[in-house]
Each structure stands twice: as structure tokens, then as C-alpha cells.
Amino acid sequence: MSVFGSLSKSRAIWLAAIVIGGVVLFWGRGFVELADGQSGKKQKVATVEPVRPAGDSQGVGLTEKQAAALKIGPVASRDFAIQKTSVGTIDFNENVLVQVFSQYPGKILKAFYNIGDEVKAGDVLFTIDSPDLLQAESTLLASAGVLELQKKVLARAVNLLKSGGSAQRDVDQSTSDEQTAEGNFKAAKDAVRIFGKSDPEIDQIVNDRKVDSTLVVPSPISGRIVARNAAPGLLTQPGGSPAPFTVADLSTMWMIANVIESDAPDYKLGQHVEVTVPAYPNKVFTGRVTVLGAMIDPNTHRQLVRSEIDDPEHLLRSGMFASFVIRVGDASHSLAVPAEGVVREGDGTMSVWVTKDSRHFSKRTVKTGLAQDGWTQILEGLSPDETVVTDGAVFLSNQLALGEAG
């Protein structure tokens, strides 16, 4: 009996211990979960998300610290130029691009300039050995000899007439022959002068009785050598391709563009053009429209627009890729928001964020127009007296999307 009683007492003690352990374990676990919950709550408070104002499905409310990171300002009003843009290429101004040929055939003796060299009008580009010049100078010397002879015959006839040894008829004939010889001599001089010989050079040929078949070919304009095909020993023909030298006046260049058919009516001769090239991204070249294509290309449905661009520093190069801006109408005065204040939504609409107290922001769908100089034209959706986010609008759109997702 005592043994049974002892076992019962021992069992009771163990049962009591198990019960107490269970209670402690329950309360310990509850305490841990409570502590974790409080810790998580504190973490959530530290990284609080923007809360949308009640009843406003398109609004976001921010803490003071979060709102301080945004920039806000009144809706602005600006002039937006009505303009067209296009791309094209730079080319030489062919109105001042000269292919220099010799006027007469011959063999090139010397070539004096290379590609890229600057030349002035009248500088000798190359010389040739010209058979035609040789023939013209030979004719000049022959006519000069005949003229000299006829002058002597006339003088002798006049002296004989004075002494009674000649008739007046002989004097008249000698006078006629002398005049004919003088006319032939002048024609021969003109023939040599056509080759570029000056009067002093012609007189030197006559006095020395020596022909020089070297024909000089000067540059007709001032500019830069952009092509050279001349070399000593090569034969050249007038107009024979390729030209020995090509000289371009680089003070102006062409920009050639092909604009879309729908924009063709907006372009007019004389319109002001602003051109930029990748080589000089911060420099704007100016010019004017000089040629409009007379037809629309049936394959590309584009029209030629050619502009003459001023380039006094000779920076542009033929073949450069370029883009232009042409103002085709009067400026439009309208509301505007900085580009950083406008958000393109996923459905393609444009929106801005409007605020009255700098803490609560409402999303507003707007209709935009032109974008120029960091500003976006607002056609519909805003009033001049409203305040909008000018920088950080994307952040608000992201927070609104996160709130809706949660």
C-alpha cells in the first residue's frame, strides 16, 4: 500500500512538472512572437510607404522628409517654336566647286598642290607642254618677222618716191602690205594671249625670238584642293574626266536632306536653317533653304530639301551626317512643364502630379505637344494657377503603382 502510494505521488510530481513546462513553453513562444511582431512593426514604421489619401484613387501622400526630395513649382508659360526636323548629309557647294581643266591638250609637266592645300585665285596648279601654244607662238614670231619686213619695204618705197625713183603706186602697195602684216601680228598676239600669256611675256617672246610651249593652268577661284588627279607625264584633254584638280570654296557647304511627303508643304525657299553634326555637338551652323525638289520620289515618298550652310571656319566635311531644324511658322505661346515633371504611363498617356499643400499629390492626365529646351508643352489638363511637381514625378508614379499592387 505504501509502495503504491509512493508511486502515485511520484507520478503526480512528474505530471505537475510536465504541465508547468508546457505553460512556460507556451508563454515563452508567445513572448518571442510578440517581440518579433513588435520588431517588424518598428521596421515597417521606419520604411513607411506613401499612403494614398482616403477617397482619392489617383493620389499619393508623403512624409515631410519624402516630400522634401521633390521639386515643385507653378505651371509655366513659354513660347514653343513651330519647327520641322530632318536628317541628311553635308556636301560641297557645287556652285563654288570648280573642276580645273586645261583649255588645250598636252602633257602635264608639273603639279604644284596636294589635296587639302589652300590656294588663291590665280595660283598656278599645274603646267603642261602644249603643242597648240607652240604653234601659236611660232605664228606670232612669223607674223612679227613679216611686219618688220613690210615696214622696211614701206620705208624704202617712201624714200624712192621722194627721190623720184618710185611711183606712188608702189608706196600705196607697200602701205597696204604693211597694214596687212600689222593686222596679222595683232591677231597672232591675241592668239597667244588666249593661252594666258601676258603682254610683257608676249613681247619677251618676240624680242628673244624664242618660243616656250609651257602652258600654265591657274586656279580660277580661291579655296581648298579637294581632289587631285594630276601627275607629271600624264596627258590631259579639255573636259576629260577626271579633272586634274578640283577646287572648292569651303566658306559655304550644302546640307542635302529628304523630308517626308506630308511635311513637304511646310518648307519654303529662304527659310532659316540650324544644322548640327555629331563631330561638333555643341556648335550650331546656320544657313537658308536654297532648293526644293520639284517632285516626290515615288519609291521613298520624300522630297529633296537643299540648304546652303555658312562655314567660315571650314569645319564641315563632305559626307558628314547632319540634322537640321527649320522654323516653319510663328511661335506658339502655351503652358509648359519641365520635362522631368511629365511621366509617360504604361498605356501611352502623359501625366503630371498636382499639389496644393506640398504633401499630398494628385495624378493628372494631360495632353502634351512640343518638347523644346527641356520643357514640354501642355495643351490640355492644367490651369495656369496650379502647382505641379517639376522634378521627381516618376517617383510618385512608382509609389502609386506599388500602393495599388499592395
In a domain, 5, yes or no: no
CB neighbour list of residue 375: distance below 8 Å, 6 or more residues apart: 76, 78, 80, 336, 337, 338, 339
139 and 269 share one domain: no
In a domain, 388, yes or no: yes
Question: What pLDDT is stored for residue 47 in this prediction?
Answer: 38
256 and 368 share one domain: no
Residue 205: phi and psi, rounded to 5, are -65, -45
Contact 124, 148 (CB under 8 A): no
Question: What pLDDT is stored for residue 9 in this prediction?
Answer: 53
109 and 235 share one domain: yes
Bridge partners for 388 per DSSP: 73, 354
How does 267-288 read in b/e, with b if 16+ C-beta sit within 10 Å? beeebebbbebeeeeeeebebe
Write the pLDDT tens digit of every residue in 287-316: 999 999 999 999 999 999 999 999 999 999
Question: What pLDDT is stored for residue 34 in this prediction?
Answer: 37
263 and 214 share one domain: no
Last residue of a domain, one of 207, 227, 247: 247
295 and 271 share one domain: yes
Other Cβ atoms within 10 Å of 313 Cβ, number: 11
In a domain, 29, yes or no: no
Q: What domain range is 63 assigned to?
A: 59-80+332-405
109 and 230 share one domain: yes
In a domain, 185, yes or no: yes
Q: Which residue has the cell 586645261?
A: 102
CATH (domain of 375)? 2.40.420.20
CB neighbour list of residue 397: distance below 8 Å, 6 or more residues apart: 343, 345, 351, 353, 363
Domain tally, the chain: 3
Contact 378, 66 (CB under 8 A): no
232 and 255 share one domain: no
253 and 243 share one domain: no
202 and 268 share one domain: no
In a domain, 31, yes or no: no
Query: Is-above-0.85 flag for pTM?
Result: no
Question: What pLDDT is stored for residue 404 in this prediction?
Answer: 60
Question: What pLDDT is stored for residue 158 in this prediction?
Answer: 83
CB neighbour list of residue 256: distance below 8 Å, 6 or more residues apart: 88, 89, 91, 304, 305, 306
Tens-level pLDDT at each residue, the chain (406 residues): 444 444 455 555 555 555 455 544 444 444 334 344 444 443 333 333 444 443 344 788 888 888 888 899 999 988 888 888 899 999 999 999 999 998 889 999 999 999 999 999 999 999 999 888 889 889 998 998 898 888 888 888 888 878 777 778 888 888 888 899 989 989 999 988 888 788 888 888 888 888 888 888 999 999 999 999 999 999 998 888 899 999 999 999 999 999 999 999 999 999 999 999 999 999 999 999 999 999 999 999 999 999 999 999 999 999 999 999 998 877 888 999 999 999 998 888 999 999 989 888 999 999 998 888 889 999 999 999 899 999 988 888 888 877 665 5
Nearest to 52 by CA among 62, 65, 44, 64: 62
Last residue of a domain, one of 308, 329, 350: 329
Last residue of a domain, one of 329, 363, 380: 329
212 and 107 share one domain: yes
